[in-house]
Chain A
Amino acid sequence: AQSVTQPDIHITVSEGASLELRCNYSYGATPYLFWYVQSPGQGLQLLLKYFSGDTLVQGIKGFEAEFKRSQSSFNLRKPSVHWSDAAEYFCAVGARGTSGSRLTFGEGTQLTVNP
């Protein structure tokens, strides 16, 4: 069964600083990988996704992520964080199987942005 680990429960950065959120996955085949963001009291918004091809994926709001098969990682990065980026970030792996497709989430990383 697939699984996702987000090692950092909470990260604090200063506005304008760079950001990297870590994500490691476990899956027997090539996975579909996603990053979602959830602002307080809101739903889940897709930031970016990886299916195949170029391992560096560009997303919305200036985010990017790099798929590294050898490290089973899909870390999210942003070169300069804005105060509005404060939110909960979820990495997820999508898998297909005999029991249908499903999205398995990591436990999330809460991002705080200091002015």
Chain B
Amino acid sequence: DTAVSQTPKYLVTQMGNDKSIKCEQNLGHDTMYWYKQDSKKFLKIMFSYNNKELIINETVPNRFSPKSPDKAHLNLHINSLELGDSAVYFCASSNSGGSYGYTFGSGTRLTVV
């Protein structure tokens, strides 16, 4: 009964390719997030959706496009992958306002070669 599940866990791809990462949560939360963890392990928010509406869009290249078909799913599509996109991407969910905490998925390690 995984609370926040991401697929795939590992993704190795060539520069210039387009790839997607999927995320699903079964906690009944109405807010979902994408975080990026760089090689120094720093975690930074990329996007946040509340009830399918984009709420937070940090200074992320427009090659990254999140999509939320419903409040239990948040996918991340990346176009024209670059070497610098290599990182671990974490999906998370919370209730509105985050007052009950944030639950994270196990991450997707993206390697661009």
Interface residue tally of chain A, by bracket? 20 to 34
B40 surroundings in chain A (CB, below 8 A):
107
A49: which of B43, B101, B105 is its contact (CB, 8 Å)?
B101
Q: A101-B97, A108-B42 are in contact. Are A43 and B106 (CB under 8 A)?
A: yes
A46: which of B33, B44, B56, B103 is its contact (CB, 8 Å)?
B103
How far is B94's CA from A100's CA once the two chains are assembled, in angstroms? 11
Q: Do the beta carbons of A103 and B102 come within 8 Å of each other?
A: yes
Q: Which of A53-102 contact B (CB under 8 A)?
A: 88, 90, 94, 96, 99-102
Q: Give min CB distance, B105 to chain A, whole Å.
A: 6
Q: Give min CB distance, A45 to chain B, whole Å.
A: 8
* Pair count A-B, CB < 8 A: 61
Q: Give min CB distance, B6 to chain A, whole Å.
A: 9
B104 surroundings in chain A (CB, below 8 A):
36, 43-44
Q: Which residue of B41, B44, B96 has the most chain A CB atoms within 10 A of its CB atom?
A: B41
Q: List 19 A-B contacts (CB under 8 A).
A: A32-B99, A43-B105, A46-B101, A46-B103, A49-B101, A90-B43, A100-B48, A100-B50, A100-B55, A101-B31, A101-B48, A101-B94, A102-B33, A103-B45, A103-B94, A103-B98, A107-B40, A108-B41, A108-B42
